[in-house]
A and B are shown apart, each in its own frame.
Chain A
């Protein structure tokens, strides 16, 4: 089973600052990684598929990068509405696995 390790667990930043979230896979997964955003009381929302392909309606301040074992989600300039938990999921091998999540707090 592929283990995804997300860091940091919590990120507390001010509006306008840059957020960098990491997801590291225990084995090579090529580009088969997705990122989700989940706000309290809501279902997850797809941000990126194939590591770097922005999903429909996702603002340009969000970017995804990486391949192989190391992946990054970057929010270039935080907005208050970006407060959420962000999860990565690998889709390279069964069983599918999620990372533990990074909580982004806006000061």
Chain B
């Protein structure tokens, strides 16, 4: 069974940092691109970042470019999101998921809540 388990969320002050992790299992992690999507409380889905398979290109939403860094450790089947200079508007549930431009693979974790507040 394909599973994602996000962790690392919490309460952080504006300007602070957090690193999110997503432990994947049940599939060949290294063969797939991976993505982070967030959802602010009561709002819609918001794409954050995607990393290609095999250490390929990374992509970011303009709203997080220069502040967030996506990375992966294929040996640990784990996806990361390093977040710095956090703002109140980054408050959201952060989900990790498999990404395919044109394919059926889809599995999301339960999400991890990031709250940016003083």
A positions within 8 Å CB-CB of B = 1, 31-32, 36, 38, 43-46, 49-50, 53, 55-56, 85, 87, 89, 91, 94-101
Contacts and interface: CB of A to CB of B under 8 A. Distances in A.
B116 to A, nearest CB: 21
The list of the 6 closest CB pairs from A to B, nearest first, reads A46-B106, A43-B108, A96-B47, A98-B45, A94-B59, A101-B44
Chain A CB within 10 A, most for which of B37, B61, B106, B111: B106
A42 to B, nearest CB: 8
Contacts of A99: 44
Contacts, number: 55
Interface of B: 35, 37, 44-47, 50, 59-62, 95, 100-104, 106, 108-111
A97 B62 CA distance: 11
A25 B109 CA distance: 28
B contacts with A: majority SS? loop
Contact of B102 (A45, A49, A97): A49
Contact of A50 (B46, B62, B102, B111): B102
